[in-house]
Structure 1
Amino acid sequence: MVRARLQGINTVRKRLADGSVRLYYYHRATGLPLSGKPGSPEFLRDYGSAEKTMLDRHSGIFNGLVRDYTLSPEFEKLRDSTQHEYRRMLTKAEQKFGNMPLAALEDPRVRQDFMTWRATVAKASGDREADNRLSVVSAMLTWGIRNGRFSATTLPDSDACTAPIALT
């Protein structure tokens, strides 16, 4: 029998009124209770449902696009060091734009938000870091357009201080 090593399970011990101890299991990321004992069919069903809930909560927003991009075959083709840097920069972008609906990326005014963010990063970390972050976000958005996650829009390119490019 194959045994799956599940991650992200929070085990809580509860002493009951009669003095016995009962174990309760929860999905760590969502907080959803997991019924049954670890490895049982109902436990695995609840775990799968909680994992799906976790993934679905990011669908349709910037965070979900980052997740899809970092799990894509195109991203996996990048060198490990490049993947590490892209993840670092995309994590910073998620802090700013994480809950932005993908529909907002189709509005031409969103370019101003990215440029304002770039200027803020440039003041704090320098022009090179700001341009690199914007370049990685632009690469991810281009991937999103090519893979049908949202329609084409006008967003800044990696040379953010000059002109935008139409990502189509």
Structure 2
Amino acid sequence: MPSSGSPKGRMIMKWSGPKLPPGVSATSKRLSDGSVTWYFYHKTTRTRIEGEPGTAAFNRQAQRADHVVPQPAVKRETLSDLCDLFEKSPEHADCAPKTRLTRETIFKQIRHRWGEYEGRHMSVRQFRGEIFDWRDEFSATPAMADKNVSTLQRLISWAYDRGKLEYDHSKKIPRLANKRSREGCGISPEEDAKLLATGKPDEIRLYKFARLTGIRKSDLCRVSWDDMDADGWIEWLHSKTAKTTKATSYYPTFAIPQFKQLIEEMPRRNETDRMLTIDAGIPWTVHNINCRWYLWLERAGLLDADIHFHDIRRQCVQDLLDADCTNAQAASISGHSIGNSGDGSFEVYTKRSRGLAHAAYRKLAAHLNPEVSGENVEWIRKK
């Protein structure tokens, strides 16, 4: 007999027919015409039992269902799950801390927008249109829009390579920012003179060190006195390529009079033993460099000149080439690849070395001091 015990008022039917085999349950369903039909399942394996209860055929099906191995439930990974998996991947762990933090911040937006999307949702054509809609919402800040999309592209590409998606609809999303090439940008002699005339002592030390070494901004904050040996050689592994080309540069500080004087005048009054510090003895940070660079350009009247701090590195390379350094000699200072054009040139057999670096600095010293011959600069010191 039916009984009403459901909170929603639904009629709950209790099976009152022939006794069911052990492990078999009965479920009722009321059809649109008002009639009731019954379905029978094995409780453990959830196997459907066909036929009439009490018959031999029904009992045999129930016995066979006892031996059916239950299939594990298939977990459908969502986009939020993919974000979690990527954050635990070696591809994410090998990135710089700043890159990881930026990526994880954007992942929060992705989870909020598409967190419940499964692979089948991301593999349909409409998902590409949704990516365009997301990008366009940030059209007022094109650089941010492009950063968001590139982060999503990295995530989806990673998931596609691992077979978690049928198709990657994030490929070739056009950028919004009009990113101009800064090829050929540098520091002109006039700009150099204005910077040196208006710079504070700690800023000038930072500028000269960057100009002579071409070391990137983030690395300048980490160069320490321990990186220089007793003979005056600074050996530096560039962080940007530390895990790829493992580019190491060598700087014979004694080979250029201006560099030797700069090293001798640098204060050593900070607990972290960093070479480059502000006047208070605190090591430079990337944030501090960015803020001070803007203020310095303002003092020098160069705000409209479109000069980036990274242009100092570009000018260092240009100075080396102007001093008639070979590509290999310049690369020994800047850390760039040597002979990667694939044309079979002799330079593909060359690697960065102290000899190349010293030859580069000899030429640069002669270029910076025309009255001093490069031949008179001290040669590699013997240990």
2:161 to 113, 136, 146: 146
* Structure-1 residue corresponding to 2:105: 88
Contact map agreement 2:156 2:168 (CA 8 A) in 1: no
Q: d(CA) in 1 for partners of 2:160 and 2:105?
A: 22
Q: d(CA) in 1 for partners of 2:160 and 2:142?
A: 27
Contact map agreement 2:103 2:151 (CA 8 A) in 1: yes
- Residue 76 in structure 1 maps to residue 55 in structure 2: no
CA drift of 1:65 comes to: 0.6
* Structure-2 residue corresponding to 1:108: 125
Deviation per CA, 1:46-100, whole angstroms, max 9, x where unpaired? Answer: xxxxxxxxxxxx9511100110111111111111110000001111121111111
Give, as a single letter, the amino acid of the residue that structure 2 aligns with 1:88. T
Give, as a single letter, the amino acid of the residue that structure 1 aligns with 2:165. F
CA drift of 1:118 comes to: 0.9
Q: d(CA) in 2 for partners of 1:158 and 1:95?
A: 21
* Structure-2 residue corresponding to 1:133: 148
Deviation per CA, 1:28-49, whole angstroms, max 9, x where unpaired? Answer: xxxxxxxxxxxxxxxxxxxxxx
Contact map agreement 1:59 1:65 (CA 8 A) in 2: no
- Unpaired runs of 5+ residues, structure 1, are 1-57, 162-168
Change (3 A) 1:100 1:160: farther
Number of matched residues?
Answer: 104
Q: d(CA) in 2 for partners of 1:59 and 1:160?
A: 32
Q: d(CA) in 2 for partners of 1:154 and 1:100?
A: 14
Give, as a single letter, the amino acid of the residue that structure 2 aligns with 1:102. G
Q: TM-score, normalised by structure 1?
A: 0.56
1:67 to 81, 84, 94: 84
Q: d(CA) in 2 for partners of 1:158 and 1:111?
A: 9
Q: d(CA) in 1 for partners of 2:167 and 2:173?
A: 17
Q: d(CA) in 1 for partners of 2:88 and 2:108?
A: 14
More helix per residue: 1
Contact map agreement 1:131 1:160 (CA 8 A) in 2: yes
Q: d(CA) in 1 for partners of 2:109 and 2:172?
A: 18
- Pairwise mapping of residues 40-55 of structure 1 onto structure 2 (< 5 A)? none
Q: d(CA) in 1 for partners of 2:170 and 2:106?
A: 17
Q: d(CA) in 1 for partners of 2:107 and 2:172?
A: 16
* Structure-1 residue corresponding to 2:366: none
Structure of greater relative contact order (alpha carbons < 8 Å, 6+ residues apart): 1
* Structure-2 residue corresponding to 1:36: none
Q: d(CA) in 2 for partners of 1:157 and 1:89?
A: 19
* Structure-2 residue corresponding to 1:35: none
- Pairwise mapping of residues 11-50 of structure 1 onto structure 2 (< 5 A)? none
SS at match of 2:138: helix
More strand per residue: 1
SS at match of 1:159: coil
- Pairwise mapping of residues 1-16 of structure 1 onto structure 2 (< 5 A)? none
Q: d(CA) in 2 for partners of 1:105 and 1:114?
A: 10
Change (3 A) 1:157 1:94: farther
User: Between Structure 1 and Structure 2, whose CA radius of gyration is higher?
Assistant: 2
SS at match of 1:87: helix
Q: d(CA) in 2 for partners of 1:83 and 1:120?
A: 24
Change (3 A) 1:147 1:82: same
Q: TM-score, normalised by structure 2?
A: 0.26
Question: Considering only aligned residues, what root-mean-square deviation do their CA atoms show, in Å?
Answer: 2.3
Identity of aligned residues (%): 14
